[in-house]
Structure 1
Amino acid sequence: MDKKKFIQLYWKNYIAIEKEFTKTLEYITLDSDNYETFSGAFIKLLLQIGSEIDLSAKLLCKQYNKHTKLEDINDYRFIIMGADKDFGNTKVDILQHCNITSFKPWESWNNNKNPVWWTAYNMIKHRRMEIGTIGGIKKDYYKFANLKNTLFALGGLYQLLIYIYFVLVDSTEEIKVPIAGSHLFILSGNRWDTVKFYQDIAFFVDTTSGHLFCETGVY
């Protein structure tokens, strides 16, 4: 796997999913008061995100250990946490203006447990019409396709992909060239506090001087 294939096969898919998620925010405000709001749109998104997480976690594990056998998320946890003990403490910061500033999608891995949102994804995938308990809450499994689980799952996917990209570029000893920026997230904590995350880039020409200028920003 090289950077170009990663961008084409993984990162572009992420950006497409992120755009689809942000469209839901036209109707459901990104606010912790709306965490439990469930929707058919979130069912679709959570299934997409969960599938991408499964593929991306396998890819990251293979970057750390090419010969490892991988069966499920418990194997991913063992390999990834063994390679980077700070993975569970990495924060996903939200760029949009809301009362949710950051979260740690993989924090439960610090205690050898899988995230609630991952359990929700699996139950929605396999037992959607049943009733069950996740994270101490009992209800129809499909109702766990809510804003919080979808947001945290998307952040978990974003974190995996940034880690993969870092490993790919670092292994070739090349300058950390930017990829198309997320409009929703950046990482923080540990090594990520010193990394500049690229967002939208705009060029414009000063008509007086004729000089070309570049600005970056987020919406």
Structure 2
Amino acid sequence: MAILAQVAAKSSPELTTGIQGALDFRRLWPRTTREYLDLKLQRSSYWLLRGDRAMPILRPFHRNHRRMQEGPSSGYSSYAYLRDREYAQSPTHFIRAFMLIQDDLKSIFEYVEPSEECLATFSYRIHELLMRTCMEIEANFKAILSENIYTPKFDKWHRPILNMHVYRTIDVTHHLSAFEVILPIWNGTPRVMCPFECWKSNQTPSWYRAYNESKHDRQEEFKKANLDHLISAVAGLLVVLSAQFGVEDFSSGHDGLTIGGHQYHDGEPAIGGFFRVKFPNDWSDNEIYAFDWEDIRDDPNRFSKFNYDAL
């Protein structure tokens, strides 16, 4: 087990946390059981060592939804941890804010047709909704960092520096740049958006620049708060939520029975049921979750904190 810890120390902070989780989990058991777990961890597919890399992750990170390793309980485990009250602080607070924004966007669509011809449309209502949407994205980013490990730098007025450059580090853990969002109700071919794809080339999303510019200089930049940037920003908010909660909306009702089959639209129904989403398929083996939630759900240390300071 010490070898595994040494391997992790030379690898990614994500891997270090995963192996440390296994070590912590092991200490909860009697000695004979620990000896069995030692052998199991070293021999099972959960701990394949390739060079200086090990995989995968045995405890979920706070506010970080990922692909699950296939297994007998992977279907249940892939969503059950999202409903644990220790996973995220006040998740419904963030979901409700998105639902209101989505409803307001749908109201705008009652007057402005979602189409290529109308993308340059701008108004005070569109400007207001763009402001709210981007502020909500920032609130989600702050929640992700604060519930994991992140020590902000401070400006000369001793205020924490939190900006898009800082938030871009979240792409390492959440793969925001690999999400696709589909808006099915489009006059023409349904619009497909990748709101954070530009992060792959270290660029700032155009919709976020429009938000900042029209916020700080509305007189000159008002027209940038247009329908195009608004739709992209709402899609960006949906991506950030989906990367934390999957399609879980924390409804008080019962789970519905889903019947598989051919879908008219690409992707799968997203939170709120208005957009559709395609989740990332670029997770490497050492990034995926591989826990059985039944085994760890009563563990007081069932969640990990990702160390963003180590990036």
Compute the TM-score of the two structures, normalised by the length of structure 1. Answer: 0.70
8 Å Cα contact 1:60/1:160 also seen in 2:
no
Q: Secondary structure at the match of 1:129?
A: helix
The equivalences for 1:1-219 within 5 A come to 2=87, 5-7=90-92, 9-63=93-147, 65-69=148-152, 71-77=162-168, 79-84=169-174, 86-99=175-188, 100-130=190-220, 141-166=221-246, 179=250, 181-191=271-281
Q: Specify the code of the residue in structure 1 equivalent to 2:150.
A: H
**Which of 1 and 2 has greater Rg?**
2
- Runs of 4+ in structure 1 deviating by more than 4 angstroms, as ranges, are 1-4
Q: Which has the higher contact order (CA 8 A, sep 6+)?
A: 2
Counterparts of 1:178 and 1:72, CA distance in 2: 27
Counterparts of 1:160 and 1:177, CA distance in 2: 13
Superposed displacement of residue 26, structure 1: 0.7
8 Å Cα contact 1:95/1:183 also seen in 2:
no
Superposed displacement of residue 21, structure 1: 0.8
- Which structure is higher in strand share? 1
Q: Specify the code of the residue in structure 2 equivalent to 1:73.
A: M
Q: Tell me, which stretches of 5 or more residues in structure 2 are unaligned?
A: 1-85, 153-160, 252-270, 283-311
Q: Secondary structure at the match of 2:90?
A: helix
Q: Tell me, which stretches of 5 or more residues in structure 1 are unaligned?
A: 131-140, 167-175, 193-219
Compute the TM-score of the two structures, normalised by the length of structure 2. Answer: 0.50
How many residue pairs get matched? Answer: 169
Counterparts of 2:149 and 2:279, CA distance in 1: 27
Q: Secondary structure at the match of 2:223?
A: helix
8 Å Cα contact 1:92/1:187 also seen in 2:
yes
Structure 2 vs 1, CA of residues 111 and 40 (structure 1 numbering), >3 Å: closer, same or farther? same
Identify the residue that residue 171 of structure 1 maps to in structure 2.
Answer: none
Provide the identity percentage.
Answer: 23
Q: Specify the code of the residue in structure 1 equivalent to 2:129.
A: L
Identify the residue that residue 209 of structure 1 maps to in structure 2.
Answer: none
Superposed displacement of residue 3, structure 1: 5.2
CA RMSD between the two structures: 2.2
Identify the residue that residue 259 of structure 2 maps to in structure 1.
Answer: none
Counterparts of 1:57 and 1:34, CA distance in 2: 30
Counterparts of 1:178 and 1:95, CA distance in 2: 20
